[in-house]
Amino acid sequence: MEFQEDLDTGRKHSKKKSRSKQKKASTGKEYTIIAYCFVGIFLALIGYLVYFNVELRDEYANSPYNSKRQGTYQERVTKGKILASDGDILASTEKDSEGNEYRQYPYKNVFAHVVGYSDKGTSGLEQVMNSQLLTSHANVAEQVQKEFQNEKNVGDNVYTTLDTKLQQTAFDALGDRKGAVVVMEPDTGKILAMVSKPDFNPNTISDDWDQINADAGSSILVNRATQGQYPPGSTFKIVTALAYWRQNNTFDNFSFDCVGEVENGGYTIHCYHNTVHGHEDFASAFAHSCNSAFAQIGVDLDRSEYVDTVKGLLFNSQLPIDLPYRKCNFGLEANSADALTMQTAIGQGDTLVSPMYMAMLTSAVANGGNLMTPYLVEKIESYTGTAVKSYTPKIYKKLMTAQEASKLTELMTGVVEKGTGSALSGRGYTAAGKTGTAEHGDASSTTPHAWFVGFSNVEDPDIVVSVIAEESGSGSEVAVPIAQKIFDAYYNN
């Protein structure tokens, strides 16, 4: 009996020790998990700090909401210069007779929107690169000496990709028309020119501020190149042609008899000036910009696949642009009515684009389907010429295959050789493009916008030009001559 009691007591003691060990093991596991969690959180925090300093620092530093920090920089550093690719000064800091600093813009209105202003806030590159311009990489000993002497250090200089000759040419060619011009290299993404009108003089922005803002309808401060939203008109037929190719894998079987208009579902589309184009294949319908043919193409396409093609070209998406911009808008859906589909296929309806976007799309065609990331800054140097940072070309996204880009290039070459862009033929360089005449507002009482997008030296493209001239008429009559002057200037260096 006593033995049984001792045995039971031993069992209880053994169970108690086992439970104690299990409890300790369980507690040890919990501590280990908690430790790992803290380590994970710590590593995540370190990772975010690295990401912030590499990717987001300049964005936050340049934010208009961070004006206090920027003001502190300005108290200690004289803002650096903004220069063109050839070294021409586009913006610099000068002093008046009383020693007060001010920004000077030698080209006045010519670079107004892309370089921007730095009084009454900042815009353009003055805003985007503000942190870099107010950072000094001068010799450390020099910086320390100036700190002790209570003198300002000199900020770094920003060298842009902008070409003064092409910028001036685009500015002059657009003339007094409202609109925008973008010129870029398709194989690098370098932006060589960016013009928006109406414009302003950044040297007198403070004096002109009230007058500029009193004329709200003109939107003078809006950079139409990146923030403008326009119906693309027939330039959108590039997209519709791509959708057709993807669904049919050939243009050879297309045939259409144009009588100047086409009707589907009780809705009628007219060709420009009701022109009767007669019998057409796909290439001639594209070259002549036949609205009737492309409206019918839109109706015949598989609507769901059509929508997928368009959205794959960055419509309704973020764009890789450093300057403030507005997204492209595309409203067609798989179940949309024939009327909207017909309008959309010819670049009307709910579709809206910016000149910058059209330059990007055209660059992808010219560059074998690859869209390069557009950029405006080539390098940053200290004021003594020491390299601080350089920017190199990089692919943003492949928008189409090389074969698709080649087929679109053939169509766009036909526009110049025997279509609405024929004014660009026979000028010592080859060109490919697409014109557009975009209706807007009340079409019966407004003059259409004139569009042209295209590129030169077709076999090995040099530059892409995107032009819109608001309320100016047809693309072939107005936008093509503007583009021609830019192409001519590029090859007449």
State the pLDDT confidence band at 141, using cuts at 50, 70 and 90: confident
**To the nearest whole percent, how much of the chain has pLDDT over 70?**
88
How many CA atoms lie within 13 Å of 82's alpha carbon, on the beta-carbon side? 32
How many CA atoms lie within 13 Å of 341's alpha carbon, on the beta-carbon side? 24
Hey, what are 50's tokens? 């690295």
Whether 7 has a pLDDT exceeding 50, the answer reads no
Mean residue pLDDT of the chain comes to: 90
Whether 128 has a pLDDT exceeding 90, the answer reads yes
Report how far Cα 277 is from the mean position of its chain's Cα atoms.
36
State the pLDDT confidence band at 68, using cuts at 50, 70 and 90: low
Contact present, 464 and 359 (Cβ < 8 Å): yes
Contact present, 187 and 364 (Cβ < 8 Å): no
Contact present, 416 and 322 (Cβ < 8 Å): no
Contact present, 449 and 440 (Cβ < 8 Å): yes
What amino acid is encoded at 174 in this protein? Answer: L
| pLDDT tens track for 237-251 | 999 999 999 999 999
Mean pLDDT for the stretch of residues 364-382 = 98
Contact present, 490 and 456 (Cβ < 8 Å): yes
Cα gap 431→464, rounded to integer Å: 10
Give the lowest-confidence range in 10-14, 44-48, 395-399, 442-446: 10-14
Closest CA to 476 of 221, 289, 298: 289
How many CA atoms lie within 13 Å of 119's alpha carbon, on the beta-carbon side? 18
Contact present, 104 and 91 (Cβ < 8 Å): yes
Whether 25 has a pLDDT exceeding 70, the answer reads no
Strand partners, 450: 437, 469
Cα gap 104→303, rounded to integer Å: 53
Strand partners, 453: 434, 466
| pLDDT tens track for 438-492 | 999 887 778 999 999 999 999 999 999 999 999 999 999 999 999 999 999 999 9
Buried-exposed string 84-123: b where 16+ CB fall within 10 A, e elsewhere: bbeebebbbbeeeeeeeeebebebebbbbbbbbbbeeebb
- 3-class DSSP assignment, residue 366: helix
What per-residue confidence (pLDDT) applies to 24? Answer: 55
Q: Name every residue whose Cβ is closer than 8 Å to that of residue 335 and which is 6 or more positions away in sequence.
A: 303
What per-residue confidence (pLDDT) applies to 3? Answer: 45
Cα gap 244→61, rounded to integer Å: 46
Give the lowest-confidence range in 73-82, 89-98, 269-278: 73-82
What amino acid is encoded at 97 in this protein? Answer: S
Cα gap 472→447, rounded to integer Å: 6
What per-residue confidence (pLDDT) applies to 445? Answer: 77
Cα gap 460→88, rounded to integer Å: 28
Cα gap 288→280, rounded to integer Å: 9
| pLDDT tens track for 341-368 | 999 999 999 999 999 999 999 999 999 9
What per-residue confidence (pLDDT) applies to 40? Answer: 79
Cα–Cα distances (Å) from 13 to 17, 21, 23, 27, 288, in that order, read 6, 12, 15, 21, 98
Whether 55 has a pLDDT exceeding 70, the answer reads no
Place of tokens 């194989």: 187
What DSSP assignment string belongs to 397-464?
EE-S-HHHHHHHHHHHHHHHHHSTTGGGTTSSS-EEEEEEEE--SSTTTSPPEEEEEEEESTTS---E
Q: Are strands 157-160 and 82-83 parallel, antiparallel or unpaired?
A: parallel
Whether 54 has a pLDDT exceeding 70, the answer reads no
Which residue blocks in 52-139 are alpha helix, DSSP H? 57-61, 67-76, 112-115, 124-128, 130-133
